[in-house]
Amino acid sequence: MARISVLGGTGYAGAAIVAEAARRGHQVRSVSRSAPDAAQRVPAVAYLHGSVADPVFLESVSADSDVVISALSPRGPMLGQVRRVDDELISLADKLGLRLGVILGAGSLSTEPGGPRLADLPSFPAAFKAEADEMAQVLADLQASPVGVDWFGVSPAPGFGAFAPGATLGRYRTGGDLVLSDESGNSNISAGDLALAVVDEIEHPAHRRERFTVAY
């Protein structure tokens, strides 16, 4: 059993990861700015409320964890702040020896080897460009981190999101820096199956110091 803290644990991706990790018997803490509704709470999960922008609070959460998952979204008041928080987590992972996982988004994936990032294509929604750029910077910071930092990054399929929730199918495929598409050219993953992949990676590490993508 691992002690797992999920930052952004009441968000779309974070809540699914919290639920899956708890289902498997891990000691789970959900960290968020506000408390979830009673109906959203998962039994046996500890819900902590505070600002991850506060270095003292962030270190206190990290110090009691074997694994910290950053499922923070750089939008609203967090736009421009997630990179700073994740950089602090990199330092804490180095200091404390914990494992760090970061949900990166799909914008830094490419459709072909050597091709441009999705976020650099003319078809990429302008409303999400700043978010994608910030998470691409987080990926670069992870890749440049000290060699002793045990991290992994996860880029969900481009079709991932609350706008297309989908059912949990109990399966997924993993890839590297390229978008994974099905036989119809679609690239999707549900929150439940993303969570399967994340908790599988925690229990059976296969991507140390690298980013991987998850899709059907």
Q: Computed from CA positions of residues 76, 6, 57, 99, in that sequence, does the dihedral angle turn out positive or negative?
A: negative
CB 178 within 8 A of CB 113: yes
Contact call for residues 119 and 136 (beta carbons, < 8 A): yes
pLDDT at 200: 98
pLDDT (0 to 100) of residue 38: 82
Read off the pTM. 0.95
Write the single-letter amino acid at 36: P
pLDDT at 37: 81
Q: Which of 99, 41, 43 is nearest to 66 (CA)?
A: 99
Which CATH number belongs to the domain containing residue 148 in this structure? Answer: 3.40.50.720
In the DSSP assignment, the letter for residue 207 is -
Closest by CA to 107, choosing from 120, 98, 97, 94, is 120
* 172 neighbors 216 (Cβ within 8 angstroms): yes
DSSP tally for the chain: helices H, then strands E: 5, 8
Domain that holds residue 30: 3-215
* pLDDT, tens digit only, all 216 positions of the chain: 999 999 999 999 999 999 999 999 999 999 998 888 887 899 999 999 999 999 999 999 999 999 999 999 998 888 889 999 999 999 999 999 999 999 999 999 999 999 999 999 999 999 999 999 999 999 999 999 999 999 999 999 999 998 888 899 999 999 999 999 999 999 999 999 999 999 999 999 999 999 999 999
Per-residue pLDDT at 36: 81
Q: Which residues contact 144 (CB under 8 A, 6 or more apart)?
A: none
Domain count, the chain: 1
